[in-house]
Amino acid sequence: MAVPQLTDFILYTATPLTNTDYAFNWAEVVKYVGDGTFDFTINSLTTTNDVTVNGDATVAGTLGVTGALTAASFLSGALTGHFKIGTFTRNISTASGTQAITGIGFVPTIVLFMGGRGQLQRASIGFDDATTAYSFNAYVLDNTVDTFNNTQSLHVFTGLSDSYGGKINSMDADGFTIGWTKAGSPTGTLTAMYLAIR
């Protein structure tokens, strides 16, 4: 559609606008906005009817709702593409090094982890923003190594002096890269689940 022209609207001249004139002008505005080629900024909108947004809606201020807000449709639109869940594994007999987790589709800002080595007695829960990492690590077979960790977001024990831990080194265009540290002689496979948030 062409750029809106003043000639497309009914303007006030010597005769005041009627309700029909206002309705016509409003329909012209909606027509231009509705074709998807024009941005439309509203400073204030009050309506007693429904408002349907088929595309994205950005609210810079406060969104106040006095009626019902359908959470399922609102959240599915608002959160689409903003989080990703997935899994990965790591052989913990491998030497210290890095591992790239890809396929997320965006640069995360924070990642939540749950992981373990086979048995539930060796588990870790943590979160990481590539600057700060925290985790809680359980080795139930010996409660002296149930620990809170403020340097790694994943950390599992296979013995009192055998462990494998990691933290995010970088948030990448399609995921994140973990830096792993091996201590002692851990064995087995760490299976981790993650929730990456944009």
* pLDDT tens per residue, range 142-169: 555 557 889 999 988 887 788 899 999 9
**CA atoms of 98 and 131, how far apart (whole Å):** 16
Q: Which of 166, 161, 133 is nearest to 145 (CA)?
A: 161
Does residue 79 come out as left (phi exceeding 0), alpha (psi in the -120 to 50 range) or beta? alpha
Prediction pTM value:
0.60
Domains and CATH numbers, the chain: 6-77 (no CATH), 83-197 (2.60.40)
Q: What is the pLDDT of residue 191?
A: 92
Specify the DSSP class assigned to residue 73.
H
CA angle 182, 183, 186 (to 5 degrees): 80
**CA atoms of 31 and 88, how far apart (whole Å):** 49
Tell me: pLDDT of 100 over 90: yes
What integer best gives the mean pLDDT of the chain?
79
Supply φ then ψ for residue 166, to 5 degrees.
Answer: -150, 160
Most confident of 73-77, 97-101, 148-152: 97-101
pLDDT band at 1 (very low <50, low <70, confident <90, very high): very low
Q: Which of 156, 177, 176 is nearest to 165 (CA)?
A: 156
Q: What is the pLDDT of residue 170?
A: 97
Q: What is the pLDDT of residue 130?
A: 95
Q: What would the mean pLDDT of 109-115 be, rounded to a whole number?
A: 94
Q: What is the pLDDT of residue 62?
A: 66
Between 83 and 33, name the one with better pLDDT: 83
Q: What is the pLDDT of residue 11?
A: 67
Question: Which residues pair with residue 87 across a beta bridge?
Answer: 193
